[in-house]
C-alpha cells in the first residue's frame, strides 16, 4: 500500500478544498453580481437570478467561469508541486464535471424552494422551462443576435434540462446531500486519478490527495449514525453518474 507523504499527514485536504471553493464562489459573485455592490458583502454565495440576456449567460458559462475554475485549481496548495502543464490537464478535466454537478445540485435545491420547471445553471442563473421562449423574444442586449438560432437553442436547453432532471432523479434525490458532501464530491472530481494524459507521478499525487480527502470525509461521520463506508460507496457511484452525464451533455 502506498504511504502518504509526511508533509500531508496532518493536512486537511477537505478543509482546504472547502476554503478554495468558497474563494471561487466569492470571485464568481464579484464577476456576476458586481452591479449590486451591497450584495457582494452579504455572503460569498451567489444569489439565484433569472436569465435576462441569454447571450450574456452563455458567455459567463463558456468563457468567464472556466477561467475562474482554472484559477481555483491552479491556486490549490495541493497542486503546488505539480508542473503547470499537469495542473492545466486537471483544470481542463474538471470544468465540465463541476458544471454538471453544480447545475444539478442548484436545480434540485431551487426546485425545493420554487417549482420543478426551473433549470439553474452553474452561475445560478435560472430559466423557467415552462416559458422558455420568452427568453428569446426580448429585444435588448445580445438576444437579438440569437434570433436565428432560437429553435436550436430551445432544443439545446430542453435536452439539457432532461439530462439534469434524469441525473437529479437517479443520483441526487436519494442522496439528499448536505453542502459538505457536495464539497466532497467536488474533491473527488478534482482529484480524479483517471485524467487522460497525466503522468504517473501526477496520478500518484492525485491518489494521495484522494486518500486524505476520504480520511477527512469518514471523520465527519464519527458523531453520527451514518455508516461512512456505505456513504462513501454512494459518493463514488455519484461521481460515475457525473462523468456519464457530462459526456452526454457535451
C-alpha cell at 58: 452563455
Delineate the domains of the chain, giving CATH numbers in brackets.
Answer: 11-249 (1.10.565.10)
C-alpha cell at 82: 505539480
CA distance 94 to 61: 14
Cβ-Cβ contacts under 8 Å for 22 (sequence gap 6 or more):
44
179-190 helix and 13-32 helix, angle to the nearest 10 degrees: 100
For residues 82 and 202, is the Cβ–Cβ distance under 8 A?
Answer: yes
For residue 26, pLDDT over 70 is answered with: yes
For residue 14, pLDDT over 70 is answered with: yes
What would the pLDDT profile of 92-136 be if each residue is shown by its tens digit?
A: 999 999 999 999 999 999 988 777 899 999 999 999 999 998 887
Cβ-Cβ contacts under 8 Å for 153 (sequence gap 6 or more):
54, 136, 146
**What average pLDDT does this structure show over 156-165?**
93
Give me the chain's average pLDDT, please. Answer: 87
Q: What is the pTM of this model?
A: 0.89
Amino acid at each position: 500500500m502506498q504511504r502518504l507523504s509526511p508533509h500531508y499527514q496532518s493536512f486537511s485536504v477537505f478543509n482546504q478544498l472547502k476554503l478554495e471553493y468558497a474563494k471561487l464562489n466569492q470571485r464568481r459573485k464579484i464577476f456576476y453580481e458586481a452591479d449590486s455592490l451591497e450584495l457582494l458583502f452579504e455572503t460569498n454565495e451567489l444569489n439565484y437570478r433569472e436569465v435576462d440576456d441569454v447571450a450574456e449567460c452563455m458567455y459567463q458559462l463558456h468563457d468567464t467561469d472556466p477561467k475562474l475554475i482554472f484559477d481555483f485549481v491552479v491556486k490549490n496548495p495541493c497542486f503546488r508541486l505539480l508542473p503547470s502543464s499537469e495542473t492545466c490537464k486537471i483544470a481542463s478535466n474538471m470544468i465540465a464535471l463541476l458544471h454538471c454537478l453544480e447545475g444539478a445540485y442548484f436545480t434540485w435545491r431551487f426546485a425545493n424552494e420554487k417549482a420543478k420547471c426551473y433549470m439553474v445553471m452553474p452561475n445560478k442563473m435560472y430559466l423557467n422551462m415552462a416559458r422558455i421562449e420568452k427568453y428569446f423574444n426580448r429585444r435588448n442586449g445580445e438576444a437579438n443576435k440569437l434570433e436565428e438560432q432560437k429553435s436550436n437553442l430551445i432544443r439545446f436547453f430542453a435536452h439539457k434540462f432532461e439530462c439534469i432532471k434524469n441525473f437529479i432523479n437517479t443520483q441526487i434525490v436519494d442522496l439528499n446531500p448536505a453542502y459538505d458532501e457536495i464539497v466532497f464530491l467536488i474533491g473527488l472530481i478534482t482529484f480524479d486519478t483517471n485524467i487522460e494524459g497525466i503522468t504517473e507521478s501526477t496520478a500518484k499525487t492525485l491518489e494521495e490527495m484522494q486518500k486524505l480527502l476520504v480520511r477527512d470525509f469518514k471523520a465527519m461521520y464519527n458523531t453520527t449514525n451514518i455508516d461512512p463506508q456505505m456513504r462513501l460507496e454512494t459518493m463514488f457511484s455519484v461521481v460515475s453518474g457525473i462523468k456519464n452525464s457530462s459526456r452526454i451533455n457535451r
